[in-house]
Amino acid sequence: MDATSADGEPTPELAVIAPETKSRDGIWQPGNAPSQVLNWSVQAVCKAGTIGIIGVYPPAARTFPIGTAMLRNLTIKMGNCNHRRYIPRLVSLVRSGHVDPIGILTQRQPMTDVISAYKQFDQRAPGWTKVELRPAA
């Protein structure tokens, strides 16, 4: 999660992780605060607490509030999901009805409308939280 730049000028931090951008009319505009949530989380968690970092951080991202984390004895874990480790058990939970995730899927779109769907999702348009694409439709 990040904040969209109001004036379209990249922050120095953003310029490092995204050397090239092609934003037009506010579409495909990167957020201007790539480390915002890292700063909030190391401050908000309890002392000696644990943070799990998921999301998308390219190799060039090098900003992390190490000093605050150190001061507060935090444990930081992160990474890309090990999907195959979890999927079978989650399939079972959905099959049994123990959890029903359907409320998080908000759009079903034919593949023929995919570019428009990308733009709605890019804008976080109301009702565009999760978009299923149907190749055969």
Partner 1 sequence: MKAVVFRGIGDIALEEVAEPQLKQPTDAIIRITASAICGTDLHMVRGTMPGMEPGTILGHEAVGIVEEVGKQVRNLSRGDRVVVPSTIACGYCSYCRAGYHAQCDNANPKGSQAGSAFFGGPAESGPFDGLQAEFARIPFANVGLVKLPEEVDDERAILLSDIFPTGYFGASIAEVSDGDTVAVFGCGPVGQFAILSAKLLGAGRIFAVDRVPDRLDMARKQGAETIDFSKEDPVDIIRQQTGELASIG
Residues 15 to 44 in contact with partner 1, rule: CB under 8 A: 17-24, 27-31, 34, 37, 40-41, 43-44
DSSP percent split of the chain into helix, strand, coil, nearest 5: 35, 15, 50
Q: Two tokens at 129? A: 């939280």
Nearest distance in Å: CB 3, partner 1: 8
- Interface pick for partner 1 out of 6, 12, 73, 136 (rule CB under 8 A): 136
Contact 107, 128 (CB under 8 A): yes
For partner 1, give the closer residue by CB, 66 or 108: 108
The sign of the CA dihedral 105, 56, 1, 65 is positive
Cβ pair 9, 1 in contact under 8 A: no
Radius of gyration over alpha carbons of the chain, in Å? 19
Shortest distance in whole angstroms from residue 45 CB to partner 1:
7
Calpha distance 91→93 (Å, rounded): 5
Shortest gap between Cβ of 9 and partner 1 (angstroms)? 15
Site residues (CB under 8 A) for partner 1, limited to 41-100 = 41, 43-47, 50-56, 58-60, 75, 77-88, 90-91, 93-95, 99-100
Nearer to partner 1, 66 or 105 (CB): 105
One residue of 13, 63, 64, 133 binding partner 1 per CB under 8 A? 133
Give the Cα separation of 81 and 121 in Å (integer).
22
Minimum distance from CB of 34 to partner 1 (Å)? 7
In the bound state with partner 1, the residue whose beta carbon lies nearer, of 66 and 113, is 113
